[in-house]
Amino acid sequence: MPSLLITTSRRPSNRVRTFVRDLMTILPDSERFNRGGMSLEELTARIGQSGARAALIVGTSRGNPQQIQFVFPAGHSALSILIESAVLRREVLPSGGPRINGVFGITVNPSPTDNAQDVAGMVAELLELPLLVSQKVDPVGEGGLNRAIIRFQDVVGGKLIWTHYHAYDGTEIGPRIRIFSVRRNPNHEP
C-alpha cells in the first residue's frame, strides 16, 4: 500500500514526467500513476481506495514543473508550492546516482522561515519521519547506504530549496526544486 500517490495535471510534458519519476524514486512507498482525464473527485476516490495518505499533483507551465499540490483523501489541498525551477536527477548527477530505497531523515536549517517549516513539516508528516534541524547535511556512512536525506533550505529573497542528498556520503542526488511561494489551506485536516 503506497503512502503517497504522485501524478500530474493533464497533458504533462516529457520533462514533467521525468520529474515525477524522480520524485517517486526519492520518496519511499510512493506510487506514480497517469491521471489522464480524471477529475479531482475521481482522484480523491483513488487516494481513498489506495490507502495512501495523500497525492502530490505536479502542475505544468511551458513544459516545466510549475506547482506541487498536496491533496488529501477528504478532497482538500493542504499546501500548494509554486516552483521557480526544477533540476532533474540526471542534471544534478549526470553520471547517475545511487539507487534510493528509503529516507534517512528530513532536515531544515536553524530558524527556518514559515515556508520552510510548512513544506518540510508536511513532507515529514506524510512520510512519518521526524523533522530535524541542522546547519548542513551530515553524511552518516554505512547506515545511510541507499537512503536519502531530504533537505529544505531557505535562500536569499525568501525562496526555498528542496533537494535530496545521499545519506551515505552527503552527495547531492536531486531532484532540486527551487520554490518561490507556498500557499497554505488554513482548514487542513489530514
Domain ranges of the chain: 4-184
Torsion of CA 82, 39, 9, 104, to 10 degrees: 70
Would you write out the chain's pLDDT as a tens digit for each of its 190 residues? 788 999 998 788 999 999 999 999 998 789 998 888 888 889 889 999 999 999 999 999 999 999 999 999 887 788 999 999 999 999 999 888 899 999 999 999 999 999 999 999 999 999 999 999 999 999 999 989 999 999 999 998 889 999 999 999 999 999 999 999 999 876 655 4
Looking at this protein, which amino acid is placed at residue 141? G
Helix (H) or strand (E) holding 64: strand 64-71
Domain range 4-184, CATH class: alpha beta
Spatial separation of the C-alpha atoms in residues 86 and 71, rounded to whole Å = 21
SS3 label, residue 176: strand
Residue 164 phi, psi dihedral angles, 5° rounding: -135, 140
- Across 4-76, the runs of DSSP E, i.e. the strands, are 4-8, 30-32, 54-61, 64-71
pLDDT of 1 reads: 76
Spatial separation of the C-alpha atoms in residues 89 and 76, rounded to whole Å = 30
67 near 156, Cβ under 8 Å? no
